[in-house]
Amino acid sequence: MDAEDEKNLQKGLEKTLRILAAAGAEEIGTHHSTGKSLNVKAVGYREFERFVKQESARPLRDLTGQICSAHQMGSCRMGVNPKESVVNQTGETWEVEGLFVADTSVFPTALGVNPMVTVQAIAYCTAQSVLQLLSRKRTTHH
């Protein structure tokens, strides 16, 4: 990892901490080996800001553990039945019209291999569904 990678990861950590807090997380942290966690509900704005700046600025190079990511799969399953799935075959959620999911969360379960090509196919097909929906809306409003 070079210095630019580290800087970008630190920016991402800062934004992630802010997003988690804005989404209602009660406790946030980064899992950094020397990092801390913060009970968001128990602190004021200044303490929150100090925590976010401090935790996202920790060095990320030369750590004892690996920095890696994982494909979260199957948390918003695709299916034909709203009782057993979150999205339909086009990737649109059953509960919110016009809300589409186009990532590995629509898988029925986690795979044992890197799903890159499958994710690209799902994203492409879901994008086509979005375009069809937008096209239908445009023709009905004219």
Catalogue the active-site residues: 71
* Confidence check: pLDDT of 65 > 80: no
Q: Over range 19-39, report the average pLDDT.
A: 92
Overall average pLDDT of the 58-73 stretch: 81
What are the b/e assignments for 59-74, b being 16+ CB within 10 Å?
Answer: ebeeeeeeeeeebebb
The token duo for 96 is: 């919110």
Q: What is the pLDDT, as a whole number, of residue 142? A: 65
- What does the alpha-carbon distance between residue 53 and residue 61 come to, in Å, rounded to a whole number? 18
Q: In degrees to the nearest 10, what's the CA dihedral of 106, 107, 109, 114?
A: -130
The average confidence (pLDDT) of the chain is 91
- What is the three-class DSSP state of 37? strand
pLDDT of residue 69 exceeding 90: no
Q: What is the model's pLDDT at position 32?
A: 82
φ and ψ at 108, to 5 degrees? Answer: -70, -25
Closest CA to 84 of 118, 102, 119, 108: 108
Can you tell me which residue has the tokens 């799969």?
73
**How far is Cα 22 from Cα 6, in angstroms, rounded to an integer?**
24
Residue keyed to tokens 């929906």: 133
